[in-house]
Chains A and B, each alone.
Chain A
Amino acid sequence: MNDYELDQIAETVDKILTKASATDLREGGEGRVNNTALELFTQAGLRRVAVPGSAGGSDGELPYLAVILKRLGYHAVNVPLLEDHLAAELLAPHMADVPQAMMTISNRSNLLLTRVDGRHVVSGSCRHVPWSRTASLVLALAQSEAGQGLVALPAAQASVNFHHNVAGEPRDHLTFDAAAPVAMVADSRAVLELRLRVLLYRSLTLLGAGERALDLTITHVTDRTQFGSPLSRRQVVQHYIAEMFGALTATRAACNAAVSALSGGTGPASLAAALATRIEADRMASVVARLSHQLHGAIGFTQEHPLHFSTTRLTAWRQDDLSETACALELARLVPGLGGPWNTLTARRVG
């Protein structure tokens, strides 16, 4: 893996998404998956890029996936690749034949795994499950007598209430009644993997969405003239842009470090890295959504202007998985075990 390969991937992803977004009004939007993009990703071997080949993946490394997620966030095209990838990579070590059909995850579930007449059944509910209506399986956190684990449930066995986030992406509520899991992972490490990976992956898509919002804003303030000169000539406008750029730089740095930490293994140090990254991404989302709208004026919050594709995602994705405050609380609680704040920052990136 090197920078050249990563640039190549980014270029391919950009091509796919640029091509696909032209069809977006027809295929995507209104909570539908952009199938053109999805097919192109599959053909290019970029759909499950960092999943083992045995589970239908491309055997790539985490930095490949990081680039793809960031560009997906940038283009705001409806491809639920994050959720499918995460489910596939978590199931790969535990399941002989991981389905090729799209999968999703639920990390805010209230599910109970029990044994009835010698067979395992799962009952309970999952709120705001991303893209479940187009998924074959839902990989969800479930509670059992033995503790917390993961269960893979056929989406078809759920009764579904349709819901959407503010970006129009499906976030359905699922209810399971004695559903039969097709796979179970009674492993605290897998639970931790799900929790920390989704934080990093979502941070990367947030980063992409923020980068797009900044690009649109720079174009707008350069083109738009008021009082006889472009908005970009005003010092306060320049400072707002610098503020957005700073927040994005901090998020990018956090993401880079977390990719490196997670590549080194799973443990308290990589959990701390993922939590810290998500805090940065959420704060960036707040700054960038607010200032990009402020600098766009009225046109920015109309349907006809593309800014809303990015800013509604910045707002929606912040709310997935774990709140910024919950991340900060958990991070602070990890600090004593990691040897204090300075050690938490400087510990060698293993686990």
Chain B
Amino acid sequence: MTLTLAAVDVDPAMQTLRLEVREFITEAVITGRFVPDCDSWLTGWVPSFSAELAARGWIGMAIPKRYGGSERGSLERYVVIEELLAAGAPVAAHWIADRQIAPALVRFGTERQKQQYLPKIASAHSFFALGMSEADAGSDLAAIRTKARKIEGGWRLNGAKLWTSGGHHAHAMIVLARTSPVDVQARHSGMSQFIVDLPAPGVTINPILLMSGEHHFNEVVFEDAFVSDDAVLGTIGEGWKQVTAELAYERSGPERLLSTFPLLTSMFRRLQATADPPHAELVALGTLLSRARSLREISMSIASALQRGEAPDVAAAVAKDLGTRFEQDVVDTALRILDGVCADASSSEELERLLSRAALHSPGFTLRGGTNEILRGVIARGMGLR
């Protein structure tokens, strides 16, 4: 695997865009439109902020203009989202729709689906959730049991999805379901994707609280829920292929390394305000920054490779394995070096507040989007070891 250097940091147009986003963020923080937070792409569900971004053309940047997008391409999108993530801006509401659903619709959607959903995604009027994992299908996604049964004019869904982030707010979700029984010789066949508008009869959404007490996860239960034939995304039986086609995007984006960056920034700020910062703390932060630098290079190189039409799956697995462990290292470093600072959600100190959020969210970093252990298997397979 070799990666060519990304063009993101050397292109003056990208730099202009970056400064534009930065100016917007600074102004938004000063006027109190958002308070920087860690893991803001999961926790920061603020539709009004999403609408502000949409008004500037910063959502749906990879969506063609005729479907309401700004068609600026995935590298420009990269610049916008990494600036927002590094600043801890609330981008959760539109995150899944913008990152995953829009590209899937562009690639696999019918003309009718594109016209129905893409303009609303780009204008931040349609937020999506993802229905993949189930109680008995975590890392082993092919073990899903949710079924879609063909009936006149459509399909009946039965089963339950788990860990569905934002399902209680979303306007729609994409559900992966079995459309034919498991074939032990080809477990990945016989799955299909459906677009389910929410709320809907036969669909019940039950909250599952995180250990912090926050409500992001849900269980989504389908009891004879009806979807029409128009709701099939792509081709019946091709669900697995369609899901994995987007994995490199899902695994290599800046959200896989920047979830705790606001905490790192805050730690640097604290040291800068200290008259004679302890060497050990400077060394710890310098080491983290060197890692952040490499990870960002890897992530941007993958974005460039994807733009060129390549499928760098192994590189994406490396990006996520290293990136999410770095996110945890930031938290661990904070816990290790900060004397007299305590993780405290209700603190008036930014650092204590950020640390509280980061510490409570950190176990999820190396789990979501494919556990790191599964990813290391992907890397080993890419190297011919299995």
Which residues of A are at the interface with B, using a C-beta cutoff of 8 A? 3, 218, 221-222, 232-233, 235, 237-239, 241-243, 245-246, 249-254, 256-257, 260, 273, 275-277, 279-280, 283, 324-325, 327-333, 335-336, 340-342, 344-346, 348-349
A235 touches B283 (CB 8 A): no
A348 touches B10 (CB 8 A): yes
Distance, CA A250 to CA B318, complexed state (A): 9
A332 touches B285 (CB 8 A): yes
Which residues of B are at the interface with A, using a C-beta cutoff of 8 A? 1, 3-5, 9-10, 15, 18, 86-87, 261, 264-265, 268-269, 271-272, 279, 282-287, 289-298, 301, 315, 318, 321-322, 373, 375-377, 379-380, 383-386
A/B interface sample: 30 pairs, CB < 8 A: A221-B385, A222-B384, A238-B376, A241-B385, A242-B321, A242-B375, A246-B322, A250-B291, A253-B294, A257-B5, A276-B294, A279-B290, A280-B293, A283-B287, A327-B290, A328-B286, A329-B282, A331-B290, A332-B268, A332-B289, A336-B272, A340-B265, A341-B264, A341-B265, A341-B268, A341-B292, A342-B86, A345-B289, A346-B18, A348-B15
Q: A332-B285, A346-B9 given as contacts; is B295 within 8 A of A246 (CB)?
A: no
Contact of B377 among A238, A341, A348 (CB under 8 A): A238
A-chain residues with CB within 8 Å of residue B10 when the two chains form the complex:
260, 348-349
B292 touches A345 (CB 8 A): yes
A335 touches B268 (CB 8 A): yes
Distance, CA A329 to CA B301, complexed state (A): 28
A341 touches B373 (CB 8 A): no
Distance, CA A223 to CA B269, complexed state (A): 52
B295 touches A250 (CB 8 A): yes
Distance, CA A237 to CA B283, complexed state (A): 32
B318 touches A249 (CB 8 A): yes
B-chain residues with CB within 8 Å of residue A256 when the two chains form the complex:
3, 5, 297, 301
Scoring A222, A253, A256 by chain B CB atoms within 10 A of each residue's CB, the highest score goes to A253
Query: Distance in Å from the Cβ of A196 to the closest Cβ of chain B?
Result: 14
Scoring A233, A250, A325, A327 by chain B CB atoms within 10 A of each residue's CB, the highest score goes to A250
Give how many A-B residue pairs fall within 8 Å (CB-CB).
Answer: 153
Distance, CA A345 to CA B8, complexed state (A): 12
> Which residue from chain A places its CB closest to the CB of B269 in the assembled complex?
A340
Contact of B379 among A3, A245, A332, A341 (CB under 8 A): A245
A245 touches B383 (CB 8 A): yes
A-chain residues with CB within 8 Å of residue B269 when the two chains form the complex:
340
A242 touches B294 (CB 8 A): no
Distance, CA A248 to CA B271, complexed state (A): 31
B385 touches A280 (CB 8 A): no
A276 touches B268 (CB 8 A): no
Distance, CA A280 to CA B285, complexed state (A): 14
Distance, CA A280 to CA B297, complexed state (A): 13
B-chain residues with CB within 8 Å of residue A243 when the two chains form the complex:
376
B5 touches A260 (CB 8 A): yes
B3 touches A276 (CB 8 A): no
Q: A233-B386, A235-B377 given as contacts; is B286 within 8 A of A250 (CB)?
A: no
Q: A233-B386, A245-B383, A256-B297 given as contacts; is B3 within 8 A of A332 (CB)?
A: no
Distance, CA A157 to CA B375, complexed state (A): 57
A-chain residues with CB within 8 Å of residue B383 when the two chains form the complex:
218, 241, 245
B86 touches A332 (CB 8 A): no
B268 touches A340 (CB 8 A): yes
Distance, CA A346 to CA B296, complexed state (A): 9
Distance, CA A275 to CA B285, complexed state (A): 13
Distance, CA A272 to CA B86, complexed state (A): 19
A232 touches B385 (CB 8 A): yes
Distance, CA A290 to CA B298, complexed state (A): 24
B-chain residues with CB within 8 Å of residue A341 when the two chains form the complex:
261, 264-265, 268, 285, 289, 292
Distance, CA A340 to CA B270, complexed state (A): 11
Distance, CA A250 to CA B295, complexed state (A): 7
List 19 other contacts, CB 8 Å, given A218-B383, A237-B385, A276-B293: A238-B377, A238-B380, A241-B380, A241-B385, A245-B379, A246-B318, A249-B315, A250-B295, A256-B3, A256-B5, A276-B289, A279-B287, A279-B291, A329-B282, A332-B283, A341-B268, A342-B261, A345-B293, A346-B9
